[in-house]
Structure 1
Amino acid sequence: MQVTKNVLDDAARRKMMAQFRSKDTKPEITVRRALHRLGYRFRLHRRDLPGTPDIVLRRHRTIILVHGCFWHQHDGCRDARMPRTRQDYWSAKFQRNSERDAKITAALTALGWRVLVIWECDARKPELASHLASVLGHAPGHAGLPSVKRPRRPDGPRATPHRPPTSRGIQRSHPRRSVPTGAD
């Protein structure tokens, strides 16, 4: 196998690598949207927990870690390939990442949290929401608490009782003021 030459200089490579995000990544936002659609409410990146977890479902004592397949070397995934250059550096880095992941998971479990790992490739699948629902024990239309809806009024959807609708849909706080015309 022929090793390809690095086409970027050090400054350009550093700039490119600095643009990889650790928070608010596309897979993380996808998982957050699916959880929110299912009715779950959560906290993000709690610094008081080991490893600053991506998503914290406090009510369910559950933590969701969204791992990138490349950076965390997802077994059997096509995105978890070894770069062709500097393989000794990358293998050591991936080894440190997996050791850190195991340490963080063990620390969170010791604190009484249930830890779920969602891989980047799984976040792209259309069955993500059903997978999250089954893992978290989600019944359809129920996210742990009964659904509370405001009652609808006969004069319109969720109309406020203390402000009747006006003819133009604008509630005035004062009567219309007369404007002097100057022709007296």
Structure 2
Amino acid sequence: MSRQASKDTAAELAVRRLLHAAGLRYRVEFPVPGMPRRRIDVAFTSVKVAVLIDGCFWHGCPEHATQPKANAEWWRQKLDRNMARDRETTEHLEAQGWVVLRFWEHVPAGEVATTVRATVDGERLKRIAPKHGLRKSGQATDE
């Protein structure tokens, strides 16, 4: 297990490259506020968008997860704890006002990057619109 990458996985790097090329700037391995030893893979702190890219084996992908035969009970408990921790982290971040985007590692990087960019752009618009008298469509109000 110690040889398994826990950060900078191929899926994460591919998504980060696309986000950076699109002009988005973000924090990597950002600590989850109020939860020691937990990290956000890609964080847009100014708009509170957290992007987590989960490995199929470690996080229990319904399509690709496998069950080890050796020491099966120990592995089942380990993977169940991982999934419970994922839910707890998501709930904690959402309670703190973050938008949490979780993706499986098998989702194409381009698809992930498109969703992330749309979400970040939407959150930025929500934050600046009231300050500038804008409606959701981006039009100024006549009032």
TM-score bin, normalised by smaller chain: 0.7 to 0.9
2:114 corresponds in structure 1 to: 133
Residues 6-17 of structure 1: matches in 2 within 5 Å?
A: 17=1
Q: How many Å separate the matches in 1 of 2:32 and 2:54?
A: 20
Q: How many Å separate the matches in 1 of 2:110 and 2:19?
A: 7
Q: How many Å separate the matches in 2 of 1:59 and 1:107?
A: 18
Q: How many Å separate the matches in 2 of 1:135 and 1:40?
A: 10
Q: How many Å separate the matches in 2 of 1:63 and 1:48?
A: 9
Identity %: 34
Q: How many Å separate the matches in 2 of 1:137 and 1:18?
A: 35
Task: Give the CA deviation at 1:31.
Answer: 1.3
| Equivalent position SS for 2:103 | strand
Q: How many Å separate the matches in 2 of 1:32 and 1:73?
A: 23
Structure 2 unaligned runs (5+)?
126-143
Is the 1:35–1:129 Cα contact (8 Å) retained in structure 2?
A: no
**2:92 matches 1:107:** yes
Is the 2:15–2:112 Cα contact (8 Å) retained in structure 1?
A: no
1:117 corresponds in structure 2 to: 102
Question: Larger C-alpha radius of gyration, 1 or 2?
Answer: 1
| Equivalent position SS for 1:76 | coil
Give the letter aligned to residue 26 of structure 1.
A
**2:14 matches 1:30:** yes
Root-mean-square deviation (CA), in Å?
Answer: 2.0
**1:134–1:22 CA distance, 2 compared to 1 (3 A):** closer
Q: How many Å separate the matches in 1 of 2:115 and 2:101?
A: 12
TM-score, scaled relative to structure 2:
0.74
When the two structures are aligned, how many residues end up with a matched partner?
A: 118
**1:106–1:85 CA distance, 2 compared to 1 (3 A):** same
Higher relative helix content: 2
Residues 35-114 of structure 1: matches in 2 within 5 Å?
A: 35-47=19-31, 49=33, 50=35, 51-77=38-64, 80-114=65-99
Is the 1:38–1:133 Cα contact (8 Å) retained in structure 2?
A: no
Higher relative strand content: 2
Task: Give the CA deviation at 1:131.
Answer: 4.3
Q: How many Å separate the matches in 2 of 1:22 and 1:130?
A: 22
Structure 1 unaligned runs (5+)?
1-16, 139-143, 146-184
